Amino acid sequence: MKKQLILEDGTIFIGKGFGSDTNSIGEVVFNTGMTGYQEILSDPSYCGQIVTLTYPLIGNYGINRDDFESISPAISGFIVKEASEFPSNWRNEQSIAEYFEMKNIPGIAGIDTRKLTRIIRQHGTLKGAICSISENPELILEKLRATKLRNDQVKKVSTKTPYPSPGRGRRVVLVDFGMKHGILRELNKRDCDVIVVPYNTTAEEILSMSPDGVMLSNGPGDPKDVPEAITMIKGLLGNVPIFGICLGHQLFALACGANTEKMKFGHRGSNHPVKDLQTGKVALTSQNHGYSVEENSISGSPLEVTHIALNDGTIEGLKHKEVPAFTVQYHPEASPGPEDANGLFEQFLQMIESHKEEGAAACQSVQI
Ligand SMILES: NC(=O)CC[C@H](N)C(=O)O
């Protein structure tokens, strides 16, 4: 089944379809990870995007029951050089073609994904369409150029109702903007008593759950499309310790008066070096973001830059100068990728402990 991949700039690639036979339109983004395709295709932050992988062989260890980052993938399509037809691994249960067919997502193989990546890097983000070879490319191109990409992805992928993930440790409210399950796993591993809540929960509702700390998850799209979350974070600041990841980091920055901007082609991969400006240490990190916090907007805000990307100098971490809150643009939960930054979850729990001690000391001094 021949298929075509048509880019907004008029480039056409011809390949072989796999997975669902449907046509699809989305923003085409590249990920440079050599492994971790299952976590990538199930990361809700890719909602509405067509993902291409620069590594040429994808699907060789199949799809297994453990490595999903969400129950249903939200991506709009998958572009690979070679989709392995004979996966081999003791955990393998399905090929990627079988999986995409089951989930009704179109894929296209036989594409020179490194050439495609160079086009995106030169041009900047592009919309693209995966469609049948029988479609008229001129008509598809017209449709593609006229298509406005959706701006309600967070609403689409966030949980509709709160749910608990109990533990015996600190109580953490985890705001789900399109959460990767790795974040929940990391909190549960540390025995946190977690309540996951929808993206549009108010600050009052969250505070009424008496959290020891609040986590702001990753999620898809432009942070400015979620104004209710910015209002919520403003209401939380200073009332409870906050740790934000990726979209959570961007929303936190907006709530503190800084600004975010769309990047030319984003960071997506498993080996992005990030420097901690306090310790000078460099961590290799897993990343997936197309927006970043604008550097010039920090000076008038109560924020301090704590981490930067070594590849292009963009902001990768922030902390609030007055209240207990810090955020990172990258993924300390990895899934997939290196676990260098995993200690940030401990840092969050330590921040909760210090905040509790300060609160107890303040109460004592009032009594005196
Ligand atoms: N992984 C994320 O949370 C991504 C954040 C945001 N959607 C971006 O692309 O920048």
Q: Identify whether 246 is a catalytic site residue.
A: yes
Counting ligand 1 atoms within 8 A of each CB, the residue from 29, 183, 199, 288 with the most, and so the one to mutate, is: 288
Q: Where are the beta strands (DSSP E) in 206-295?
A: 213-216, 242-245, 260-276, 282-293
Give the active site residue among 249, 267, 272, 331.
331
Nearest CA residue ID for atom 8, ligand 1: 289
178 CB under 6 A from ligand 1?
A: no
218 CB under 6 A from ligand 1?
A: yes
Sequence-separated (6 or more) residues with CB below 8 Å from residue 316: 274, 285, 307, 308, 309, 328, 329, 330
Q: Identify whether 333 is a catalytic site residue.
A: yes
Kind plus residue range of the DSSP H or E element containing 248: helix 247-255
Give DSSP secondary structure letters for 298-320: STTSSEEEEEEETTT--EEEEEE
| 303 neighbors 294 (Cβ within 8 angstroms) | no
Answer positive or negative: Cα dihedral of 343, 349, 355, 360.
negative
Q: Helix, strand, coil: what percent of the chain each, to 5?
A: 30, 30, 40
**What is this model's ipTM?**
0.98
The ligand 1 atom at the shortest distance from the C-alpha of residue 219 is: 3
Tell me which residue has tokens 């995007």.
Answer: 49
Q: Identify whether 47 is a catalytic site residue.
A: no
- Overall pTM > 0.95: yes
By three-state DSSP, how is residue 241 classified? coil
Per-residue model confidence as pLDDT tens for the chain (368 residues)? 899 999 999 999 999 999 999 999 999 999 999 999 999 999 999 999 999 999 999 999 999 999 999 999 999 999 999 999 999 999 999 999 999 999 999 999 999 999 999 999 999 999 999 999 999 999 999 999 999 998 999 999 999 999 999 999 999 999 999 999 999 999 999 999 999 999 999 999 999 999 999 999 999 999 999 999 999 999 999 999 999 999 999 999 999 999 999 999 999 999 999 999 999 999 999 999 999 999 999 999 999 999 999 999 999 999 999 999 999 999 999 999 999 999 999 999 999 999 989 888 887 776 65
